[in-house]
Copies of this chain bind each other. A is one copy, B any other.
């Protein structure tokens, strides 16, 4: 499996001369790859100035990873050549297999027969590609203009759907979230969820595993056994599509998977301490928190705010979701009373009021983090007394190694501050409810 993400040499079979073509885009991505790259095409005119090989068998050097982007009916021949060439890792981008029905399924079964008992692993077919920012393996066939690549980070993404997967990538790039590995595994003729989970379990660069799932491609029992084990080491976030009857029907038309009973699946996830994101937004919110913050060690949360209304909205949501908003201890209250003006409301939510300064937040965070397991920190930047200094205060509060989830909302000025806070690896959410909901979900696996 490692060869998929850290190959020393890559052959791109179907590298094309025409900009816009899948085989051209993938080859272009590999111009920045530090290892060896061999474009393969029967038309051996150079592509972007690079020598082109008529067949993978004509390459003299060793090839560790092959990416196949040619029409479905030619894949069989090329895959056989890869085996002869002793390539151990192959990504088949091409579509036109089991996802299109009977004829395609036959084609896919043939490929399965070819690789049986051979020392080769295959991702695909029918995928958008794989991506590892660390090694610069970028086999995504979508142009960087339309699909920004996320930077290096600690989230691994496994997506059954290519379109959802690529949208996730593009959004993570926008949110400045870093990823370790991305795999669109499509029809999963060989490598499936279980193989990927087992690899990511041991991958040191991966801290969080995020999965978009329609139906399970592997053996159900083995899948559950594996996620259970992996989830004990690394948090797993799953978003499941096909939760309702109609949704399941749509899944069947989409990837031909059987979605199975969602209720049972969901209940099992809960039992196995796997976080299920209920919506796409929650999926990102959770990935962000897990990527940046430690898990809470207990259920007590303190809401700190400089906007009374936002504090109320957060409190409502927290109560709804059963977060434990216990009152500050007597000791803490007394300490805060000494430091704060009278109009500060020392309770939970702790309302630092509309004239709160960074200094006031510092005191609140220091005292709060001593006695609570997690902090929801609402910071409305529109008020005149708050400046960029708040970023430093938050940074310093990280020393407590407890989760801090921020909420702030606004336009340009606020956005600049948000960027700085998130650079310090403190997640910021645009509404009080989303910050609270994320914390509640993190707590659900405690």
Contacts and interface: CB of A to CB of B under 8 A. Distances in A.
Given A170-B382, A241-B312, A433-B281, A148 B254 contact: no
A161 B308 contact: yes
Interface in A141-192: 142-143, 145-148, 160-164, 166-167, 170-171, 173-174
Interface residues of A, number: 76
**Shortest 5 CB-CB distances between A and B: which pairs?**
A254-B308, A161-B309, A163-B307, A164-B309, A244-B319
A163 B380 contact: yes
Contacts of A78: none
A382 B306 contact: no
Contact of A242 (B143, B249, B250, B312): B312
Given A171-B409, A253-B308, A384 B281 contact: no
Contacts of A250: 308, 311-312, 315, 347, 349, 351
Interface stretch (A27-35, A329-337, A410-418): A410-418
A442 to B, nearest CB: 19
A430 B171 CA distance: 10
A380 B147 CA distance: 11
Contacts of A315: 244, 246-247, 250
A411 B319 contact: no
Contact of A163 (B173, B281, B309, B413): B309
A174 B411 contact: yes
A253 B411 contact: no
A313 interface: yes
Nearest to A148: B411
Contacts of A347: 249-250, 253
A345 interface: yes
A250, A309, A319, A345 — most chain B CB neighbours (10 Å): A309
Nearest to A381: B146
A316 interface: yes
A312 B170 contact: no
A432 interface: yes
A281 B434 contact: yes
A166 B383 CA distance: 9
B313 A143 contact: no
16 contacts: A142-B383, A145-B413, A146-B381, A161-B308, A162-B354, A163-B308, A163-B382, A164-B310, A164-B313, A171-B410, A173-B411, A241-B313, A243-B319, A247-B319, A253-B347, A281-B434
Interface string A401-444: 00000000111111100000000000000111110000000000
Contacts of A251: 312
B306 A163 contact: yes
A127 to B, nearest CB: 12
Contacts of A243: 316, 319-320
Contacts of A166: 380, 382
Contact of A312 (B254, B311, B409, B431): B254
A157 to B, nearest CB: 13
